[in-house]
Chain A
Amino acid sequence: MMNFNAIRSIYIFEMARAGRTLLQSIISPVISTSLYFVVFGAAIGSRIQEIDGVAYGAFIVPGLIMLSLLTQSIANASFGIYFPRFVGTIYELLSAPVSYVDLTIAYVGAAASKSIILGLIILATAAVFVPLEILHPFWMLGFLVLTAVTFSLLGFIIGIWADGFEKLQLIPLLIITPLTFLGGSFYSITMLPPVWQTISYFNPVVYLVSGFRWSFYGAADVSIGVSLLAILGFLAICLAVIAWIFKTGYRLKN
């Protein structure tokens, strides 16, 4: 049994919050992505040869979308649940007839929706700068949704774990940003020296970017099956952590 009215209420509330901070949640990623295109695509990209038969400007599109998708999913979801804890309005969520599953679906669903919309907006922005082709649109959407959901879950976990704004920023800053920049967003990892290639295979973002890029251009650093397994595995880990948190009431209740 689920409390659908509650899930809908939280979802609408969270989406409305994004609407209020439209500038922050949509426009700033669009601007920064455009800047990436100007710098990497037009300025530097013209001097870089094609990778896997794809022009450099187009090559970086999937990686750039992933970059925003990861950071925004985490930021949205972590803030969404941390904020009520911080200001104290969490009392209402805890006293409402909602289960933890309801809460997770609502918060993660809203955060994921926002980053999916954002991903599509960046995609549209990219299409302005470079000629795009999407060989496997359904896979593309699939990766987009799976990644958004998984990293929103991760953000949700961070939002529950954090007990201060510093911690809220810490994981994205210390872990996610380096992983995404070193995850093959701007290059193919086959371009790296062998040692770094091996190291890269320990970076989960490599699999996401690779799979996502495959859905665009049909070329990948690792096989699509492995990419899919990697993201599903990460999703499973996040779900297990959430389940544990809720079983123990960790950090939500005294």
Chain B
Amino acid sequence: MTPAISVTNLSKTYKSGFQALKNINLEIKQGEIFGLLGPNGAGKTTLISIICGIVTASSGTVLANGHDNVKEYRKTRSLIGLVPQELTTDAFETPWATVNFSRGLFGLPPNHAYVEKILKDLSLWDKKDQRIMTLSGGMKRRVLIAKALSHEPKILFLDEPTAGVDVELRRDMWALVRDLRKTGVTIILTTHYIDEAEEMADRIGVISKGELMLVEEKQALMAKLGKKQLTLELASKLKSIPRTLARHQLSLSKNGAELNYTYDSHANRTGITTLLADIKKAGIAFTDIETRESSLEDIFVSLVRAP
């Protein structure tokens, strides 16, 4: 099957001379959810902007459903919907007007029933006649999603859809993305958060400093990277780890003020329950408890070092 998106030898050097993308090769499969993961300035938005036609590539080609995005731009752009990273909306417009505008802009005849459905799905229907500037940030984000969906795209780009979004909306957004996938839409989302990529994506690409470091099935990647650390802040310092806890692979830090436990967050049994029970038995009191995931930076370090 033709890939939804096929990027070949893509490079981008901005006028400033800064090279934002270095020879990117990437294929996105039909109907998958692809997570593009990378730190600030990695080139995620640049890559998406080139695919969508907002930024011109310095070299390389982009195909969408097999069509060249420069030579057959009308075809490819009709296929693609984009939810940009920035909340750029027409502040004086209403959601109703702006979503209908987008549909027309992408070449489709008006379809009020369809637009109504989108706005209802995104819980914007009761706000449809309000000026966008009077909406909250999360609602503006939803307006942008509605605009991107207005022309029934086959491929949807979500550039950091959950930045600055509360937990509930984030859950709604994920549900929406899953529903869209069920209808056959291919989805590419960017994020800084591993848990988000983990929750949503079928495959994950990691980009850093303009280079695509790896592309892998989520399961495989998470097995590699899904280490978590549990930290207990102790009520009183320990000189050494008590022998009763020896079987738990623990370590002390901060001069014995903290006890650390590293575990695989994807394992069926993380061992946390027995650990806590043993700690209680040993009579160790703690004042705080914290878990920490390997940060993206840690992952990049481990990626670069990987043989």
3 smallest beta-carbon distances between A and B, as pairs: A9-B104, A88-B88, A97-B74
A254 touches B53 (CB 8 A): no
Complex partner residue of B53 from A6, A10, A12, A95, CB under 8 angstroms? A95
Contact assessment for B97 and A91 in the assembled complex, using a CB-CB cutoff below 8 Å: no
Whether a CB of chain B sits under 8 angstroms from the CB of A8 is yes
Within 8 A of A (CB), among B58-106: 73-75, 77-78, 80, 82, 84, 86, 88-92, 97, 100-106
- Return 26 A-B CB contacts under 8 Å, by A number: A5-B104, A5-B105, A5-B106, A5-B107, A5-B109, A6-B104, A6-B107, A8-B104, A13-B101, A88-B88, A89-B88, A89-B90, A91-B82, A92-B102, A95-B52, A95-B53, A95-B54, A96-B107, A97-B73, A97-B78, A97-B106, A97-B107, A99-B74, A249-B56, A254-B15, A254-B54
**Is there an interface contact between B101 and A89, defined as CB atoms closer than 8 Å?**
no
**Judging by beta carbons under 8 Å apart, are B55 and A253 in contact?**
yes
Interchain CB contact (< 8 A) of B84 among A1, A9, A91, A254? A91
Q: Which B residues are CB-close (under 8 A) to A98?
A: 105, 107
Given contacts A16-B97, A94-B53, A97-B107, 19 further A-B contacts (CB under 8 A): A3-B74, A5-B107, A5-B109, A8-B104, A9-B105, A13-B101, A20-B92, A87-B90, A88-B86, A88-B88, A91-B49, A91-B82, A91-B88, A92-B105, A94-B52, A97-B75, A98-B107, A253-B54, A254-B54
The interface residues of chain A lying within 8 Å CB-to-CB of B89 are 89
Kindly provide the distance from the CB of A80 to the nearest chain B CB, expressed in whole angstroms. 12
Q: Per-position contact with B for A75-108: 1 when CB-CB < 8 Å, else 0?
A: 0000000000001110111111111000000000
Chain A contact residue count (CB 8 A cutoff): 27
List residues of A whose CB falls within 8 A of some B CB: 1, 3, 5-6, 8-10, 12-13, 16-17, 20, 87-89, 91-99, 249, 253-254
Residues of chain B with a CB closer than 8 A to A12's CB: 101, 104
* B14 beta carbon closer than 8 Å to chain A: yes
A54 to chain B, nearest CB (A): 44
* B165 on interface, CB distance cutoff 8 Å: no
A92 contact set on B, CB distance < 8 A: 82, 102, 105, 147
Contact of A6 among B14, B49, B105, B147 (CB under 8 A): B105
Contacts of B52 in A (CB 8 A): 94-95
In chain B, what residue has the closest Cβ to A21?
B92
Q: Collect the chain A residues with CB atoms within 8 Å of residue B97's CB.
A: 13, 16
A87 touches B106 (CB 8 A): no
CA distance A8 to B103 in the complex (A): 11
A1 to B78, CA, bound (A): 15
Q: Does B272 contact A (CB under 8 A)?
A: no
Interface centre among A9, A16, A88, A96 (most CB of B within 10 A): A96
Which chain A residues lie closer than 8 Å to B15 at the CB level?
Answer: 254
